[in-house]
Amino acid sequence: MSKRFLLRQFMGDEDALHIARVTIHSRDDLSQHNHDYAEIFWIESGKGLHIINGQQLPLGAGSLVMIRPDDEHTFTSNGHGLTIMNLAFPAETLAYFRNRYFLETNDYFWTPDSLPYATLLDKTQVRRLSQKAEETWKNKKSKFYLDALLLFIFNLTDTNKDLDLNPQIPAWLQKAAREYVTPEWFKQGIMGFATLCGKNADHINRVTRACYQQTLSEFITGLRMDFAARQLSMTNTPIKAICNDCGFGNLGHFYKTFKATFNQTPIAYREANQTIV
């Protein structure tokens, strides 16, 4: 039978939130439960299963889930451990955020789907979020710090909307796409992406064709061009340096690829989108 956890069991009378880090080794470590509060958890390390509303979904490092009060769930792992960071806060906070920011969306905590909202963070995002949560824990009596942490999380997940968890796309491919965002990886080309996937390039190519209707080369070119566009819009980095950071050895080839993607040259794109004052 499912248990109902109450926030007052974990929080002091003056606390605005509860933050904890726990490692799950088996299903016996935590009872199936729902609760009278809202919850966000993310996986720092390990692999396991999220047993949620009668379904079993895989969890791995970077998985982030927003649990609604009536969702019934628990976790299990393969014995090696699943390390979870958890944020719990009063359910009425959801009403405030809904009215303030999310009246026109049925996303996040307000999805009508049977399963709660989930996304996948990259290693850098997980590290930043855990650090932010630890800083917030020191100020757990403050609603200001709770709101700041929640806004940080919503902003973090909003940047991932184009690649949110899709059951039709393997988690390893989505995770690699999240992490293939730096010059270090771009300069390694296809082999760098294959390293992040932990698969051979031929297999990845077949999967990207099936999932994105793109070859592996086209897919990673799109990731490089997205990076180039951000650099052109948000920095004054010379175009030649951006070309090099994207892993292009030839400036002319970079110009041709960028124009084919955005219908503008890099110079024209920067002039139209530059935000540096």
The CATH number given to whatever domain includes residue 15 is 2.60.120.10
pLDDT in tens, 173-200: 988 888 888 899 999 999 999 999 999 9
| C-alpha–C-alpha distance, residues 33 and 24, integer Å | 15
Can you give the residue range of the structural domain that contains 228? 171-273
For the chain, the domain total comes to: 2
In this structure, the answer to whether residues 152 and 205 fall within a common structural domain is no
In this structure, the answer to whether residues 101 and 216 fall within a common structural domain is no
In this structure, the answer to whether residues 44 and 98 fall within a common structural domain is yes
In this structure, the answer to whether residues 149 and 178 fall within a common structural domain is no
In this structure, the answer to whether residues 135 and 64 fall within a common structural domain is yes
In this structure, the answer to whether residues 199 and 263 fall within a common structural domain is yes
| C-alpha–C-alpha distance, residues 177 and 109, integer Å | 25
- Position 162 scores a pLDDT of 52
Q: Using CA of residue 134, residue 184, residue 164, residue 95, what is the dihedral sign? A: positive
- Position 277 scores a pLDDT of 41
Inside any domain, residue 166: no
Average pLDDT over residues 151-177: 76
Among residues 138, 161, 184, the one where a domain terminates is 161
Q: Which residue in 63, 7, 62 sits closest to 33, CA to CA?
A: 7
In this structure, the answer to whether residues 125 and 30 fall within a common structural domain is yes
In the DSSP assignment, the letter for residue 62 is T
In this structure, the answer to whether residues 148 and 186 fall within a common structural domain is no
| C-alpha–C-alpha distance, residues 4 and 8, integer Å | 12
pLDDT in tens, 62-103: 899 999 999 999 999 877 789 999 999 999 999 999 999 999
In the DSSP assignment, the letter for residue 110 is G
Among residues 106, 141, 161, the one where a domain terminates is 161
**Global pTM value:** 0.62
pLDDT in tens, 215-263: 999 999 999 999 999 889 878 899 999 999 999 999 999 999 999 999 9
In this structure, the answer to whether residues 118 and 234 fall within a common structural domain is no
In this structure, the answer to whether residues 141 and 227 fall within a common structural domain is no
Query: Can you give the length of the chain in residues?
Result: 277
| C-alpha–C-alpha distance, residues 159 and 197, integer Å | 21
